[in-house]
Amino acid sequence: MNSSEQEIENALRRAPRPKTPASLKRELVAQVKLPAARRESPPTLMTHRPGGWLRRWWPALSPATASLACAIVVMVQQMEIRDLKDSVRALSAGDIAADTLRPVAIPETRNDAPAIDASATEQQEIARLKQLISQLSAEIAQLEQIQKENQSLQVQLATPPGLTAEELEALAKARERALSIQCINNLKQFGLAVRQWALDNNDFTPPDIVCMSNELNTPKVLVCPAETTRPIAANFTAFTPANCSYEYLAPSGSDKESTRVLSRCPVHGHIGLCDGSVQSQVAKNHPEWLVERDGKLYLEYKAQPSPTTPPPQGGTAPQPKP
């Protein structure tokens, strides 16, 4: 703070204080206007104007009035229903009595007219239904003829040109024989892989098929060529039991049991033995030659095959035991 400001502040402090006029309070009080005091009227008795009690009690009386009106309406309706029922009973009793007293009248010709009309309508309906049945039968016969023609066309489309029915049958048999021979080859490869694995493992067969992945090289030989719906695994890493058509019946066995059944094809009935041979269609044509002992399946002849019955194909047939 500089000297000039200090001087101004000291001059203001030394200035005389103004005095309040003595009449200021009275003037201020006179200027204030207070509201006039209300005069309390003496208590008087409550007077009710006409119709005031009705306005007060109307909220309680209106539901009661509505309920009473509904009850009256229901009562009147029930009385009317009772009267109607009595009237119906009386009329029914009168009709019964009149029927018992009325003589049997011979029907006149005009009363038979509705019956004749009804019978004529029924005959017309029957005739219409018969016509509809005949029309539907003709359409069904036409559809059957079209179906036969479609089947013949499908056969013609599937038939190679220039082949007769006998040639097609021979072709189908040749195809089945080729698939059977390929299945026998697969079983022979399977038996060879088992024998190779057994040579390295004290002459015991492998416990499962996956153990022979090195000997089989590919899981393709485990699927019968006639079973077209079964998938073929790309490798043994993706191999599952669903990728094998053949039954492996001699796990952890010995290749010294030459007549024991090692594998079986459920499609052709071929069986592979532990000695590596494959017998063609034995399980299908001669199931009696398969004998089970101690939970193992063996190939044994029950009798010598007749001249008309060829011996099993694909390997050396075991001789019957003495």
> Do 282 and 290 form a contact (C-beta atoms < 8 A)?
yes
Task: Say how far apart CA 221 and CA 236 lie, in whole Å.
Answer: 12
SS (H, E, C) 40-63: CCCCCCCCCCCCHHHHHHHHHHHH
pLDDT band at 181 (very low <50, low <70, confident <90, very high): very high
> Do 239 and 260 form a contact (C-beta atoms < 8 A)?
no
> Do 239 and 261 form a contact (C-beta atoms < 8 A)?
no
Q: What percent of the chain has pLDDT over 70?
A: 73
pLDDT band at 42 (very low <50, low <70, confident <90, very high): low
Give residue-wise pLDDT tens across range 135-156. Answer: 888 888 888 888 888 887 777 7
pLDDT at 308 over 50: no
Give residue-wise pLDDT tens across range 223-239. Answer: 999 998 999 999 999 99
> Do 245 and 230 form a contact (C-beta atoms < 8 A)?
yes
Between residues 173 and 168, which one has the greater pLDDT? 173
Task: Say how far apart CA 280 and CA 314 lie, in whole Å.
Answer: 6
Q: What are phi and psi of 307, to 5 degrees?
A: -60, -30
Domain ranges of the chain: 168-299
Give residue-wise pLDDT tens across range 245-304. Answer: 999 999 988 878 889 999 999 999 999 999 889 999 999 999 999 999 988 999 987 654
Note the maximum CA span of the chain: 163
Between residues 203 and 93, which one has the greater pLDDT? 203
- Cβ-based neighbour number of residue 95 at 10 Å: 10
Give the per-residue pLDDT at 117. Answer: 75
What is the sign, positive or negative, of the torsion defined by CA atoms of 176, 179, 185, 186? Answer: negative
Give the per-residue pLDDT at 317. Answer: 43
What is the sign, positive or negative, of the torsion defined by CA atoms of 225, 227, 230, 236? Answer: negative
Give the per-residue pLDDT at 197. Answer: 92
Q: Which of 281, 252, 253, 250 minimizes the C-alpha distance to 268?
A: 281
- Cβ-based neighbour number of residue 298 at 10 Å: 19
Q: Which H or E run includes 262?
A: strand 261-264
Q: What does DSSP assign to residue 254? A: B
Would the pTM count as exceeding 0.85?
A: no
Give residue-wise pLDDT tens across range 82-112. Answer: 888 887 777 776 655 555 545 544 445 455 5
> Cα dist. 279→216, 319, 321 in Å?
20, 14, 18
- Cβ-based neighbour number of residue 200 at 10 Å: 10
User: Beta strands 261-264 and 278-279: pairing type?
Assistant: unpaired
pLDDT at 65 over 60: yes
